[in-house]
Amino acid sequence: MPNIKTSPEEMYHFDLRGYLVVRGVLPKAQIDACNNAIDLHAGDIRSRHEGSLSRGSSVLKGTAGRQELTGMLGWPTPHREPFRDLLVHPIVVSRLNDFCGRGFRLDHGPLLIQADPGTEGHALHGAGEPFGAANWYHQQNGRIFCRGVTVAWQLSDVDEGTGGFAVVPGSHKSQERTPEGITTVKEDMSLVVQPAMKAGDVLFFAETATHGTLPWKGTHQRRSVLYKYASRDAARTVGNHFEPATRWGDWTTDMTPEEQAVMYGPGVHAPHKRYLLDSDGTTIRLSHE
């Protein structure tokens, strides 16, 4: 089990490269629980139209579109519990407090990305340049302020050269427009990296980084579940759907207070004290601002 707290080396890696892989977080039993729940809801998995993500790139084309599934947090018990555990896992809480700033929230997701052998890739994209108001990255006075961080839990192995998530390291800080050769991976100048990961690893990446996926060449099915978090301060005022139940649905009412803490909508000027999360190394706990 890795350190719950973010290490100085991890902070350096994330700030320098724009992504971080934390190894060996989930035990086999937890991986199996997620995969078994997905199998039971396989009838709800939908496939994207082939070509919708590769966008004409000859390098990214495949023989099938990727498969997607949502709604896991609202599934009937016990199928939802494994995914609610991942929502506020201590590894996630400690690192997002350091990467996003305290008071982060779930912006959207979770989303299962599933790929059979031959599935096309996704053209590389990101909001570093041109500037995206919803996502930006800033580091100052020893603190990181990343407005959008995606957390991707790996439920199957991703070996080197088999495809899947790809990123241009350091691009989260770039102030130059991404060349077309990078987005299509036709002329990537050897800048595109595909990290090898194992089932149970968790990937953090800045949404400002230029990222996408390479065609899946593995002989087994790829499964990754993405939770997309954002700074709660990404909006100045609280909207009509600030409370978890009005924002997501009545199924949030039986979540734990810790789980509900990341389900609030964006806003600095909340009508009551904002609930924040802390991690003491092994567990998570609520605190108040």
Within 13 Å of residue 143, how many CA atoms lie on the same side as its CB?
8
In a domain, 1, yes or no: no
SS3 for 107-125 is EEEEEEEEECCCECCEEEE
Section 91-120 average pLDDT: 94
Question: H helices within the chain, ranges in order?
Answer: 8-17, 28-40, 81-87, 90-99, 180-183, 244-248, 257-260
Name the residue with higher pLDDT: 223 or 238: 223
Q: Evaluate whether residue 246 is within a structural domain.
A: yes
DSSP 3-state assignment of 157?
Answer: coil
pLDDT digits (tens, 9 = 90+) for 254-288: 999 999 999 988 876 565 666 788 887 788 888 86
pLDDT at residue 4, as a whole number: 83
Note down the domain range covering 154. Answer: 8-288
What gap in Å lies between CA 273 and CA 158, rounded to an integer? 42
In a domain, 3, yes or no: no
pLDDT score of 236: 58
78 and 116 Cβ atoms separated by less than 8 Å: no
Residue 74 is assigned to a structural domain of this protein:
yes
Q: Is residue 215 part of a domain?
A: yes
Mean pLDDT value of segment 192-202: 98
The CATH number covering residue 170 comes to: 2.60.120.620
Is 188 inside a domain boundary?
yes
Q: Which two tokens stand for residue 132?
A: 């995206």
CB-based contacts of 272, cutoff 8 Å, min separation 6 = none
Lowest model confidence (mean pLDDT) among 59-73, 87-101, 122-136? 122-136
Residue 78 lies in a domain: yes
161: in domain: yes
- Number of structural domains (the chain) is 1
**What is the C-alpha to C-alpha distance for residues 82 and 179, in angstroms, rounded to an integer?**
40
